[in-house]
Amino acid sequence: MRKEIEKIKISESAPKVIKNLYSKEEIEEFLKLYKELPTTVHNKKQNVIKKRWLQGYNERLEKLFFDRLKKEIGDFRLDNLQDEKGKDIYGLIQESYAPIGLHVDGGFELNNQIYKQSLIPLTPVGSTVIFKNRFYEESTSFTQDPEELKKTNLQYGQNKRSSEHLKLYGEKPFDQKIHERYLRHENIENLKGLEVELIYEWEVGSMLIFDRTHLHCSSSVIEGKKIGIATFTKK
């Protein structure tokens, strides 16, 4: 059970999109950084490549990112995975060829007061669906798949698998039109009781900020691949 739930709730707010935050040249610098970083995960089954944004590859870009995020959300601490030397990483850069399923990024330490997460699109085609529904425990992937639910021997940084959400948010069927347009990769029964808060259409140069307690997922809308930077914070 997470210890700081009431403090977390006090700092919650609606998702927001900051447009034109990064210039074309800065986005190109992010893409150059992505090419230079070593691959952390290449999951061929999920069709995704993940790279940790390690410190020291581009200090100017690190400061620029940190300062702009602080301007939007105030004081924060990074809550991403650490490198082999125990240093904080700035986030995870992910190249996806298939949509990512329903999950929450609550982190892996229940004593932490989780705060906001951000998403910076580096490619133009894609969208992220954020639900009104919230979950206050650790990072969890929500599924009805019996094979996925059997996965309990997880490594550090891997999401717990759970179908607990189906008992938390009521029996209301999910909106069929939204499902058909944005969420065809999800079994509609897995979305029972969920309501959409925001559908963020990716726009290069913008940044999405939302609470880490929000359930969310990728949409089905991908043309070839999409690349984005996800960063997680705590108080």
Residues in the chain predicted with pLDDT less than 50, given as ranges, are none
User: pLDDT at position 30, please?
Assistant: 97
Contact between 185 and 94 under an 8 Å Cβ cutoff? The reply is: no
Model pLDDT, residue 222: 84
For the chain, percent of residues with pLDDT exceeding 70:
98
What's the fold here for domain 5-234?
Jelly Rolls (2.60.120)
Q: What pLDDT, on the 0 to 100 scale, is given for residue 188?
A: 97
pLDDT at 46: 62
CA distance linking residue 79 with residue 114, whole number of Å: 8
CB 96 within 8 A of CB 218: yes
Q: Considering only CA atoms, which of 68, 86, 90 is closest in space to residue 77?
A: 90
Query: In 10 A of CB 215, how many CB atoms?
Result: 23
Q: Position of tokens 């990716």?
A: 202
58: Cβ–Cβ under 8 A, 6 or more apart, which residues? 29, 33
Hey, is 70 helix, strand or coil?
helix
Q: Residue 223: its pLDDT value, please?
A: 81
Residue 220, φ and ψ in degrees, nearest 5: -75, -5
Phi, psi torsion values for 98, nearest 5 degrees: -145, 155
What's the pTM? 0.94
Q: Where are the domains of the chain?
A: 5-234
Cα Rg of the chain, angstroms: 17
Q: Which residues pair with 131 in a beta bridge?
A: 196
